[in-house]
Amino acid sequence: MTKKDEEKTLKYQRLTTSLVAVLAILLIASEAFAGGFYLPGRGVRPLGRAGAFVASGEGNLNSLWYNPANLTLSEGMELTVDLAVVDLAFDFQRAPRVTQGGDTIEYGRVESSAAPQPIPQILIGGPTGNDDLSWAFGFYTPYMAGATFPENGPQRYTLIDNVGSAMGFLHAAVSYKLGDGARVGLGVQNAFASFRLVSTTSAYTGLHGRPEDEDLDILSKIELSDFFAPAGNIGFWVKLGPSMEAAISAQSPVFFEDGDAELTVRMPSHPEFDNARLTNNTLAASMVLPAVARVALRYVDDPIDIELAGVWEGWSAFKEIKATPNDIEVEGVPGIGSIPVGPLTIPENWKDTFSVRLGGDFKVDEALTLRAGYNFETGAVPDEYYSVFSPDSDKHTVAAGMSWAFDGWQLDAGTAYYFFSDRNIDTSNMRQINPTDAENELATVVGNGEYSSRYFVFGMGVNYMFE
């Protein structure tokens, strides 16, 4: 093999490595979709309390998620149906970049154009014939929303689109009274997920053009799905005194795995890549949602109900992303033939998150209840790995809601506004994934800049008690 052929082989080997790297980066976006877009609070009634619902949900089906010990439904069968809408306002101003020649390149501000995301849930539960034992079953999804950015925007090397991704739970649980002063609950879940993520990498070789020329972009889409991911939760509630209660609950990790995640690649439009193509387009990939632990104190003295809760999520378990191709080769390499694509591991090193939630109800009369809450949660993503597909920063939440009861019916409404702390990143490790640049000598830093995101959530629901 001539020296020229060796250089060409090395170039295409780097191309194959980059294709796997594209998958890994998009899987990081999957994790971010869960971490950054997995908002505190779920269910219309708990939403109005900013998610402070660990000790306070006695007899309410939303306790299925927060604390199954509170599923005390001995008075009759109940049905809860609600729908929330999550709207994301998200913009990014990429920092100017100075080229090797000393020129400064300025970038325009981009913002997500994704439509608001509807979030449904259906819950049902009731007595078992044993006054101390109750059951519940439900389908629900976390509160999260995708983002859509311009295909040719300055953020394209981290994320273009993840709209169409979805995640949900089927959940069954029982609650058992341990006398008048304590309860325990246990739930089993099947989580399911389908992620659609689009991003861009660069095929700039340094021989011609510039690092961010659009005709050297590789547009990549991954579709990862898993419809069987067993998990569970457990909870305990105890009465401390006439007006004081305490509760704890825990959620197991959820492991998603897809042995045939589909990778679709659009090769660069530059003539140099006219004949390059993949022999296969599936990869083995996995991701995990972290374990969650909750603890709460509740003060209740009619007409007042106030809860202070703390929540920990173990995002530090997310240390790296792994991707393994299923016999993928790149064909059409002039003078060489085909080159196999190998596995790849990318480090991440996220942080655990903590939140403090304060929420309460005020019962105006037998029909009307008002509620409000506040939540502060730390972010999971360090500055070095922050980007438009992992925008999870410290956040403040203010929330309010109400319920109206009549003839066995309860109508709920809730709203919350999530203020994510603006981030101004100047120490980013987020670079282009470049097929010809194993040492990151050509790949530009794409994560520096100013990030601003806000979420607005509004929901309505109905609860019915069957006679």
The strand ranges marked E within 107-216 are: 110-111, 117-127, 133-140, 166-177, 182-202
Q: What is the pLDDT of residue 37?
A: 47
d(CA 279, CA 314): 38
d(CA 247, CA 235): 7
Q: What is the pLDDT of residue 110?
A: 97
d(CA 352, CA 366): 42
β-partners of residue 111 are 91
β-partners of residue 199 are 220
The DSSP code sequence of 333-365 is ETTTEEEEPPPEEEE-----EEEEEEEEEEE-S
Residue in this structure with the two tokens 């991707």, named with its chain if needed: 323
Instruction: Name the pLDDT band for 34 (thresholds 50, 70, 90).
Output: very low
Contact 79, 460 (CB under 8 A): no
pLDDT higher than 80, residue 5: no
pLDDT higher than 90, residue 221: no
Residue in this structure with the two tokens 């509760």, named with its chain if needed: 247
d(CA 167, CA 233): 17
Check residue 427 and report its DSSP letter.
S
Helix (H, G, I), strand (E, B) or coil at 13: helix
Q: What is the pLDDT of residue 347?
A: 61
Mean pLDDT of the chain: 87
What's the angle, vertex CA 174, arms to CA 241 and CA 402, rounded to 5?
65
Instruction: Name the pLDDT band for 429 (thresholds 50, 70, 90).
Output: confident
Instruction: Name the pLDDT band for 257 (thresholds 50, 70, 90).
Output: confident
Name which residue leads in pLDDT, 286 or 427. 427
pLDDT higher than 80, residue 23: no
The pTM of the full predicted model, rounded to 2 decimals, is: 0.88
β-partners of residue 418 are 397, 455
pLDDT digits (tens, 9 = 90+) for 450-467: 999 999 999 999 999 997
Helix (H, G, I), strand (E, B) or coil at 408: coil
pLDDT digits (tens, 9 = 90+) for 139-184: 999 998 889 999 999 999 989 998 888 899 999 999 999 988 999 9
Answer whether the bond into residue 303 is a cis peptide, omega within 30°. yes
Helix (H, G, I), strand (E, B) or coil at 456: strand
Nearest Cα residue to 430 out of 206, 179, 97: 97
Name which residue leads in pLDDT, 175 or 207. 175
Q: What is the pLDDT of residue 20?
A: 53
Q: What is the pLDDT of residue 166?
A: 86
Q: What is the pLDDT of residue 125?
A: 97
pLDDT higher than 50, residue 213: yes
Name which residue leads in pLDDT, 16 or 227. 227
Instruction: Name the pLDDT band for 424 (thresholds 50, 70, 90).
Output: very high
Q: Which stretch of 24-38, 90-104, 426-440 has the lowest confidence by average pLDDT?
A: 24-38
Q: What is the pLDDT of residue 321?
A: 67
Q: How far is CA 30 from CA 8, 83, 134, 198, 224, in A?
A: 33, 24, 36, 11, 9
**Tokens linked to 232:** 């569970």
pLDDT digits (tens, 9 = 90+) for 377-404: 999 989 988 888 777 899 999 999 999 9
β-partners of residue 190 are 170, 230
Residue in this structure with the two tokens 């909870």, named with its chain if needed: 235
pLDDT digits (tens, 9 = 90+) for 260-284: 888 888 878 877 777 777 777 788 8
Name which residue leads in pLDDT, 122 or 205. 122
pLDDT higher than 70, residue 333: no
pLDDT higher than 90, residue 14: no
The DSSP code sequence of 61-96 is TTHHHH-GGG---TT--EEEEEEEEEEEEEEEEEPP
pLDDT digits (tens, 9 = 90+) for 60-96: 999 999 999 999 987 889 999 999 999 999 999 999 9
Q: How far is CA 159 from CA 10, 93, 151, 152, in A?
A: 27, 14, 9, 11
Q: What is the pLDDT of residue 124?
A: 98
Name which residue leads in pLDDT, 319 or 59. 59
Helix or strand holding residue 248 (H, E): strand 244-251
Q: Architecture of 7-465 per CATH?
A: Beta Barrel (2.40)
| Percent with pLDDT over 70 in the chain | 86
pLDDT higher than 70, residue 253: yes
Q: What is the pLDDT of residue 280?
A: 76
Q: What is the pLDDT of residue 119?
A: 94
Domain boundaries, the chain: 7-465
Contact 384, 446 (CB under 8 A): no
Contact 178, 131 (CB under 8 A): no
In sequence order, the 6+-apart residues with CB closer than 8 A to the CB of 57 are 46, 63, 66, 67, 70
Q: How, if at all, do strands 344-347 and 353-363 pair?
A: unpaired
CB atoms within 10 A of CB 153: 19
| Percent with pLDDT over 90 in the chain | 56
Give the mean model confidence (pLDDT) for residues 409-426: 96
Q: How far is CA 100 from CA 441, 442, 444, in A?
A: 11, 10, 11
At 19, the amino acid letter reads L
What's the angle, vertex CA 197, arms to CA 195 and CA 203, rounded to 5?
150
Q: What is the pLDDT of residue 303?
A: 96
pLDDT higher than 50, residue 35: no
Q: What is the pLDDT of residue 36?
A: 46
